[in-house]
Amino acid sequence: MTEHGSATTPTPPENGSRPSARSAGLLMGRPFGIPVYVTPSWIVIAVIITVLYQPVVDRTLALGGLSYAVAFVFAVLLYASVLVHELAHSVVARMYGLPVRRITLYMLGGVSEIEREAPTARQEFWVAFSGPLLSLVLAGLGYVAYGLVDPFTIVGVLLWQLWVANLLVGLFNLLPGLPLDGGRLVRAAVWQATRRPTAGTVVAAWGGRLLAAVVVSLPFLFAWWQQTTPSVFAVLWGVLLGAFIWMGAGSALRTARLRERIPRLRARLLARRPVAVAADTPLAEARRRMQEADAGAILVVDAAGTPTSIVDEDAAAAVPDTRLPWVPVASVARAITSASVIGADLDGEELLGELRRHPVPDYLLVEEDGSVHGVLRVRDVEAAFRR
């Protein structure tokens, strides 16, 4: 299974739970400059594929113990096909100017982490369609190559399995539900028709939930059709895939609801009014002045009244009460830099874009004339999403 997703902050990614290459995985290389990671879970599925495929190889070629090596080679080539699928997503995304953070190969397939969404439905369509399209092209090439070799050779057996695997990967990913590529195509189509990307996400996510239910029920439906009992492996695999799709679709729905709130985000309305104090002011005195002024933040200023730092709430809260009269505010404040000064009129996507470009806990909001409007805390922006 493959997917591609956009990673944004503070909005969660639309494609649901997936492994983080930042916390787990081995860097395998940088094709086209894109980091490719393989997580330890890949070893698990590679062993499973090897064990399941070995009897097929042995029946066809009668290689004995060597059949395990051939089966393992197939597992590696299968994931190489998944990597090519993901590279198609990533390369097309880059062609449209969308930054790609990494590609991760894990137990259920692969994921391309694209840092922001495509700005148009057309670009969304082509980024999503490129992966399945290349998988189907590989399937066609594999089928042609298979016809040119002896089917009862190692090369023949591997080519047969590879073209079938790429065909299944391509077709499966075209199923119309998030987090699969087909869900992205549905999203692009609805987006184009309604001019509302959120509407496309909702439709595609519910398609994903319906698809998850079908995937879980398939082993039982096949068993009923054949008048047999479903195998434990088939049931477990169906539940695993179904749960993955369901969680991805659910995450997309939650993200869609959050995105509906983005236009209502206004830095000016979320700002806290600060109280200005000198750097050597005791924390106890600064808190007293903040309460008297009914302010929401403490701003440290120099002798000329120019803001130099913002008191960190968490650092200040960690100071014991008995130490408050002796701890100067400067010791629990974070310096103001050019990256932490933003305009008070920012709102919606423009505000989130600024927070993503320069991620810090607190920002100083200034008016066009340079005067201070207030302090914006990222936790207040995140809380606004949840309201």
| Annotation says 86 is catalytic | yes
Considering 226, 261, 296, which residue would you say is the last residue of a domain?
A: 261
Q: Which of 159, 122, 131, 129 is nearest to 143 (CA)?
A: 159
Using DSSP, state whether 180 is helix, strand or coil: coil
**253 contacts: CB under 8 Å, gap ≥ 6:** 201, 202, 205, 206
Residues 335 and 256 in one domain: no
Q: Write down the pTM of the prediction.
A: 0.71
89 in a labelled binding site: yes
Q: Residue 74 phi/psi, 5° resolution?
A: -60, -40
Domain count for the chain, please give it. 2
Structural domain of 109: 2-261
Q: Known binder of ligand: residue 345?
A: no
Question: Residues for the chain: how many in total?
Answer: 387
358 is in an annotated binding site: no
Q: What pLDDT sits at residue 24?
A: 52
pLDDT of residue 82: 92
One domain for residues 307 and 253? no
DSSP state of 339: G
* The last residue of a domain, from among 261, 282, 304: 261
Residue 46 φ then ψ, to 5°: -65, -40
- Contact status, residue 109 vs residue 1, Cβ threshold 8 Å: yes
3-state secondary structure of 1: coil
Question: Which is catalytic among the residues 3, 86, 113, 124?
Answer: 86
pLDDT in tens, 122-145: 999 999 999 999 999 999 999 999
Q: Are residues 55 and 10 in the same domain?
A: yes
Looking up tokens 């809380």 gives 383
Per-residue confidence band for 221, with pLDDT thresholds at 50, 70 and 90: very high
Residues 235, 310: one domain? no
Contact 115, 101 (CB under 8 A): yes
Q: How confident is the model at residue 227 (pLDDT cuts 50, 70, 90)?
A: confident
CA-based nearest residue to 2, from 137, 126, 201, 169: 169
